[in-house]
Protein backbone atom coordinates (compact mmCIF):
# COMPACT_ATOMS: atom_id res chain seq x y z
CA UNK A 1 0.00 0.00 0.00
CA UNK A 2 1.29 3.45 -0.88
CA UNK A 3 2.11 5.64 2.09
CA UNK A 4 0.03 8.81 2.12
CA UNK A 5 1.20 12.20 3.39
CA UNK A 6 -1.71 14.41 4.31
CA UNK A 7 -1.00 18.14 4.48
CA UNK A 8 -3.82 20.23 5.89
CA UNK A 9 -3.61 23.91 4.99
CA UNK A 10 -6.44 25.95 6.57
CA UNK A 11 -5.66 29.00 4.47
CA UNK A 12 -8.69 31.19 3.79
CA UNK A 13 -7.33 34.67 3.26
CA UNK A 14 -6.58 34.20 -0.40
CA UNK A 15 -10.23 33.43 -1.10
CA UNK A 16 -12.52 36.24 -2.22
CA UNK A 17 -15.58 34.57 -0.69
CA UNK A 18 -17.56 36.38 2.00
CA UNK A 19 -17.75 33.16 4.00
CA UNK A 20 -14.13 32.15 3.45
CA UNK A 21 -13.41 31.59 7.14
CA UNK A 22 -15.43 28.38 6.85
CA UNK A 23 -12.49 26.97 4.91
CA UNK A 24 -10.63 26.47 8.20
CA UNK A 25 -13.22 23.95 9.39
CA UNK A 26 -13.43 22.54 5.86
CA UNK A 27 -9.71 21.75 5.88
CA UNK A 28 -10.03 19.92 9.19
CA UNK A 29 -13.01 17.88 7.98
CA UNK A 30 -11.31 17.02 4.70
CA UNK A 31 -8.20 15.83 6.54
CA UNK A 32 -10.37 13.54 8.66
CA UNK A 33 -11.79 11.95 5.52
CA UNK A 34 -8.43 10.73 4.28
CA UNK A 35 -7.75 7.29 5.64
CA UNK A 36 -4.39 6.52 7.23
CA UNK A 37 -1.17 8.24 6.30
CA UNK A 38 1.09 10.60 8.15
CA UNK A 39 -0.37 14.03 8.62
CA UNK A 40 0.65 17.58 9.30
CA UNK A 41 -1.34 20.77 9.75
CA UNK A 42 0.42 23.83 8.42
CA UNK A 43 0.10 26.95 10.49
CA UNK A 44 -1.22 29.67 8.21
CA UNK A 45 0.35 33.14 8.34
CA UNK A 46 -1.83 36.09 9.29
CA UNK A 47 -2.92 38.42 6.50
CA UNK A 48 -3.42 38.18 2.78
CA UNK A 49 -0.58 40.17 1.26
CA UNK A 50 1.57 38.29 -1.25
CA UNK A 51 4.43 38.26 1.28
CA UNK A 52 2.18 36.72 3.94
CA UNK A 53 0.81 34.12 1.55
CA UNK A 54 4.41 33.32 0.60
CA UNK A 55 5.18 32.58 4.27
CA UNK A 56 2.43 29.96 4.31
CA UNK A 57 3.66 28.51 1.00
CA UNK A 58 7.16 28.17 2.42
CA UNK A 59 5.74 26.34 5.45
CA UNK A 60 3.96 23.97 3.08
CA UNK A 61 7.30 23.43 1.38
CA UNK A 62 8.98 22.56 4.65
CA UNK A 63 6.15 20.22 5.63
CA UNK A 64 6.36 18.47 2.27
CA UNK A 65 10.11 18.12 2.46
CA UNK A 66 9.70 16.07 5.65
CA UNK A 67 6.90 13.93 4.25
CA UNK A 68 7.59 10.58 2.62
CA UNK A 69 4.40 9.41 0.99
CA UNK A 70 2.04 10.36 -1.83
CA UNK A 71 1.18 14.03 -1.22
CA UNK A 72 -2.44 14.88 -0.54
CA UNK A 73 -2.96 18.60 0.10
CA UNK A 74 -6.19 19.71 1.69
CA UNK A 75 -7.37 23.31 1.61
CA UNK A 76 -8.31 25.84 2.41
CA UNK A 77 -8.70 27.84 -0.74
CA UNK A 78 -7.20 26.95 -4.13
CA UNK A 79 -4.07 28.94 -3.29
CA UNK A 80 -2.90 26.09 -1.05
CA UNK A 81 -1.84 24.12 -4.13
CA UNK A 82 0.76 26.71 -5.17
CA UNK A 83 3.71 25.00 -3.49
CA UNK A 84 2.64 21.35 -3.99
CA UNK A 85 2.31 21.93 -7.74
CA UNK A 86 5.52 23.97 -7.88
CA UNK A 87 7.23 21.04 -6.14
CA UNK A 88 5.82 18.63 -8.70
CA UNK A 89 7.10 20.82 -11.56
CA UNK A 90 10.54 20.92 -9.92
CA UNK A 91 10.49 17.17 -9.62
CA UNK A 92 8.96 16.06 -12.93
CA UNK A 93 9.79 19.04 -15.19
CA UNK A 94 8.24 18.79 -18.66
CA UNK A 95 6.74 15.42 -17.75
CA UNK A 96 4.21 17.06 -15.43
CA UNK A 97 0.63 17.74 -16.52
CA UNK A 98 -1.66 19.68 -14.18
CA UNK A 99 -5.27 18.58 -14.33
CA UNK A 100 -7.32 21.38 -12.79
CA UNK A 101 -10.92 20.50 -11.90
CA UNK A 102 -12.59 23.82 -11.11
CA UNK A 103 -15.58 25.93 -12.15
CA UNK A 104 -13.03 28.75 -12.54
CA UNK A 105 -9.75 29.13 -14.39
CA UNK A 106 -7.74 30.73 -11.58
CA UNK A 107 -5.72 32.26 -14.41
CA UNK A 108 -5.95 35.94 -13.52
CA UNK A 109 -3.02 38.23 -12.88
CA UNK A 110 -3.04 41.03 -10.30
CA UNK A 111 -3.90 43.35 -13.21
CA UNK A 112 -6.86 41.36 -14.54
CA UNK A 113 -8.32 39.91 -11.32
CA UNK A 114 -11.84 41.21 -10.66
CA UNK A 115 -11.58 40.32 -6.96
CA UNK A 116 -7.92 40.77 -6.12
CA UNK A 117 -8.08 37.36 -4.42
CA UNK A 118 -5.06 35.12 -4.97
CA UNK A 119 -7.14 31.94 -5.25
CA UNK A 120 -8.27 33.28 -8.64
CA UNK A 121 -4.63 33.74 -9.75
CA UNK A 122 -2.84 30.65 -8.47
CA UNK A 123 -2.70 28.67 -11.69
CA UNK A 124 -1.45 31.69 -13.60
CA UNK A 125 1.22 32.25 -10.93
CA UNK A 126 2.40 28.68 -11.52
CA UNK A 127 3.03 29.62 -15.15
CA UNK A 128 5.36 32.38 -13.94
CA UNK A 129 3.11 35.46 -14.07
CA UNK A 130 1.80 37.33 -11.04
CA UNK A 131 2.94 38.69 -7.69
CA UNK A 132 6.76 38.32 -7.64
CA UNK A 133 6.64 36.85 -4.10
CA UNK A 134 4.43 34.01 -5.27
CA UNK A 135 6.16 32.85 -8.43
CA UNK A 136 7.67 29.37 -8.60
CA UNK A 137 11.36 28.69 -9.25
CA UNK A 138 10.44 26.61 -12.29
CA UNK A 139 7.43 27.72 -14.31
CA UNK A 140 4.72 25.44 -15.61
CA UNK A 141 4.23 25.55 -19.38
CA UNK A 142 0.57 26.56 -20.01
CA UNK A 143 0.37 23.77 -22.63
CA UNK A 144 0.77 21.29 -19.77
CA UNK A 145 -2.44 22.51 -18.14
CA UNK A 146 -5.78 20.76 -18.64
CA UNK A 147 -8.76 22.66 -17.27
CA UNK A 148 -11.72 20.41 -16.58
CA UNK A 149 -15.22 21.69 -15.92
CA UNK A 150 -14.41 25.43 -16.00
CA UNK A 151 -17.51 27.46 -16.78
CA UNK A 152 -17.09 30.80 -15.03
CA UNK A 153 -14.12 32.38 -16.77
CA UNK A 154 -13.14 36.05 -16.94
CA UNK A 155 -12.39 37.56 -20.37
CA UNK A 156 -8.66 37.81 -19.70
CA UNK A 157 -8.61 34.14 -18.70
CA UNK A 158 -10.32 33.12 -21.95
CA UNK A 159 -7.71 35.10 -23.90
CA UNK A 160 -4.86 33.44 -21.99
CA UNK A 161 -6.33 29.96 -22.59
CA UNK A 162 -6.60 30.60 -26.32
CA UNK A 163 -3.27 32.34 -26.78
CA UNK A 164 -1.12 30.07 -24.64
CA UNK A 165 -2.50 26.65 -25.51
CA UNK A 166 -4.19 25.71 -22.22
CA UNK A 167 -6.44 22.71 -22.86
CA UNK A 168 -10.02 23.28 -21.78
CA UNK A 169 -12.57 20.50 -21.41
CA UNK A 170 -16.05 21.77 -20.74
CA UNK A 171 -18.60 19.92 -18.64
CA UNK A 172 -20.28 18.72 -21.84
CA UNK A 173 -16.96 17.17 -22.96
CA UNK A 174 -16.80 15.15 -19.73
CA UNK A 175 -19.82 12.85 -20.05
CA UNK A 176 -17.27 10.04 -20.49
CA UNK A 177 -13.53 10.01 -19.88
CA UNK A 178 -12.29 9.71 -23.49
CA UNK A 179 -11.84 13.41 -24.23
CA UNK A 180 -10.15 13.93 -20.86
CA UNK A 181 -7.70 11.07 -21.34
CA UNK A 182 -6.95 12.35 -24.81
CA UNK A 183 -6.48 15.93 -23.57
CA UNK A 184 -4.14 14.84 -20.77
CA UNK A 185 -2.01 12.69 -23.04
CA UNK A 186 -1.80 15.41 -25.71
CA UNK A 187 -0.74 17.89 -23.04
CA UNK A 188 2.16 15.77 -21.95
CA UNK A 189 3.21 12.92 -24.21
CA UNK A 190 4.03 9.37 -23.19
CA UNK A 191 5.79 9.35 -19.83
CA UNK A 192 3.71 11.85 -17.97
CA UNK A 193 2.83 12.33 -14.35
CA UNK A 194 -0.43 14.12 -13.55
CA UNK A 195 -1.06 16.41 -10.58
CA UNK A 196 -4.79 16.48 -9.87
CA UNK A 197 -6.22 19.65 -8.35
CA UNK A 198 -9.86 19.62 -7.32
CA UNK A 199 -11.78 22.75 -6.39
CA UNK A 200 -15.06 21.38 -5.08
CA UNK A 201 -16.96 24.08 -6.96
CA UNK A 202 -16.42 21.95 -10.06
CA UNK A 203 -19.39 19.98 -8.68
CA UNK A 204 -22.89 21.01 -9.62
CA UNK A 205 -24.68 23.08 -6.94
CA UNK A 206 -27.65 20.71 -7.16
CA UNK A 207 -25.58 18.15 -5.32
CA UNK A 208 -22.94 20.14 -3.48
CA UNK A 209 -23.36 23.70 -2.21
CA UNK A 210 -20.67 24.11 0.44
CA UNK A 211 -18.38 26.33 -1.63
CA UNK A 212 -17.79 30.08 -1.72
CA UNK A 213 -18.14 30.62 -5.49
CA UNK A 214 -20.75 28.17 -6.80
CA UNK A 215 -21.46 28.00 -10.53
CA UNK A 216 -24.32 26.22 -12.22
CA UNK A 217 -23.85 23.39 -14.68
CA UNK A 218 -21.10 21.36 -13.00
CA UNK A 219 -20.12 17.73 -12.57
CA UNK A 220 -21.89 15.14 -10.47
CA UNK A 221 -19.85 13.65 -7.62
CA UNK A 222 -19.89 10.15 -9.15
CA UNK A 223 -18.81 11.59 -12.46
CA UNK A 224 -15.85 13.39 -10.91
CA UNK A 225 -14.74 10.16 -9.26
CA UNK A 226 -15.11 8.17 -12.50
CA UNK A 227 -13.01 10.75 -14.37
CA UNK A 228 -10.25 10.66 -11.76
CA UNK A 229 -10.36 6.85 -11.76
CA UNK A 230 -9.89 6.83 -15.53
CA UNK A 231 -6.91 9.18 -15.34
CA UNK A 232 -5.33 7.29 -12.43
CA UNK A 233 -5.85 4.01 -14.27
CA UNK A 234 -3.77 5.26 -17.16
CA UNK A 235 -1.17 7.72 -15.83
CA UNK A 236 1.16 8.11 -12.89
CA UNK A 237 -0.36 10.51 -10.36
CA UNK A 238 2.10 13.03 -8.92
CA UNK A 239 -0.14 14.43 -6.19
CA UNK A 240 -3.68 15.39 -5.28
CA UNK A 241 -5.14 18.61 -3.90
CA UNK A 242 -8.72 19.04 -2.69
CA UNK A 243 -9.83 22.58 -1.94
CA UNK A 244 -12.56 25.14 -1.24
CA UNK A 245 -14.76 23.18 1.16
CA UNK A 246 -16.84 25.72 3.10
CA UNK A 247 -19.03 23.41 5.19
CA UNK A 248 -22.58 24.71 5.43
CA UNK A 249 -24.85 21.73 4.77
CA UNK A 250 -24.56 18.34 6.53
CA UNK A 251 -25.70 16.64 3.31
CA UNK A 252 -22.52 17.89 1.66
CA UNK A 253 -20.40 16.30 4.38
CA UNK A 254 -22.21 13.01 3.64
CA UNK A 255 -21.49 13.39 -0.10
CA UNK A 256 -17.87 14.29 0.48
CA UNK A 257 -16.82 11.63 2.98
CA UNK A 258 -16.96 8.61 0.62
CA UNK A 259 -15.88 10.72 -2.35
CA UNK A 260 -12.66 11.95 -0.73
CA UNK A 261 -11.64 8.54 0.49
CA UNK A 262 -12.34 7.01 -2.94
CA UNK A 263 -10.40 9.78 -4.70
CA UNK A 264 -7.36 9.22 -2.49
CA UNK A 265 -7.62 5.47 -2.87
CA UNK A 266 -7.75 5.58 -6.66
CA UNK A 267 -4.83 8.01 -6.86
CA UNK A 268 -2.65 5.74 -4.73
CA UNK A 269 -3.58 2.40 -6.27
CA UNK A 270 -0.66 0.36 -7.57
CA UNK A 271 -0.44 0.10 -11.36
N1 LIG B 1 -10.93 29.07 -6.98
C2 LIG B 1 -11.94 29.90 -7.03
N3 LIG B 1 -13.04 29.70 -6.38
N4 LIG B 1 -11.76 30.99 -7.80
C5 LIG B 1 -12.74 32.02 -7.97
C6 LIG B 1 -12.20 33.06 -8.88
C7 LIG B 1 -13.24 34.07 -9.24
C8 LIG B 1 -12.77 35.14 -10.23
N9 LIG B 1 -12.45 34.57 -11.49
C10 LIG B 1 -11.58 35.90 -9.65
O11 LIG B 1 -10.52 35.88 -10.19
O12 LIG B 1 -11.68 36.48 -8.63
Tell me what ipTM this predicted complex has: 0.97
What spacing in Å lies between the alpha carbon of 58 and ligand 1's midpoint? Answer: 23
- Looking at ligand 1, which atom is closest to the CA of residue 102? 1
CATH number, domain 4-267, options 3.40.50.620, 3.50.50.60, 3.40.800.10, 3.40.190.10: 3.40.800.10
What spacing in Å lies between the alpha carbon of 215 and ligand 1's midpoint? Answer: 11
Please give the distance of CA 130 from its chain centroid, rounded to a whole number.
18
What spacing in Å lies between the alpha carbon of 104 and ligand 1's midpoint? Answer: 6
Interval 44-66: pLDDT, tens: 999 999 999 999 999 999 999 88
- Looking at ligand 1, which atom is closest to the CA of residue 243? 1
- Looking at ligand 1, which atom is closest to the CA of residue 122? 1
What spacing in Å lies between the alpha carbon of 69 and ligand 1's midpoint? Answer: 30
Interval 156-169: pLDDT, tens: 999 999 999 999 99
Which residue owns the Cα nearest ligand 1 atom 4? 120
Confidence category of residue 131, pLDDT binned at 50, 70, 90: very high
CA torsion 137-138-144-150 (nearest 10°) is 10
Q: Is 224 helix (H, G, I), strand (E, B) or coil?
A: helix
Amino acid sequence: MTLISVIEVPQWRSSGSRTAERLVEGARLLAEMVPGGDRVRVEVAEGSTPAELAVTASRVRTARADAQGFPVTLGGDCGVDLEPIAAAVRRYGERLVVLWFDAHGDLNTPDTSPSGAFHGMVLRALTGEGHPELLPEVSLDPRRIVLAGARDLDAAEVAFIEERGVRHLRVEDLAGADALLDGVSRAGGDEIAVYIHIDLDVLDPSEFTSVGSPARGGLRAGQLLALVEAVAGRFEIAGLGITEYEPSDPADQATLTPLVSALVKTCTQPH
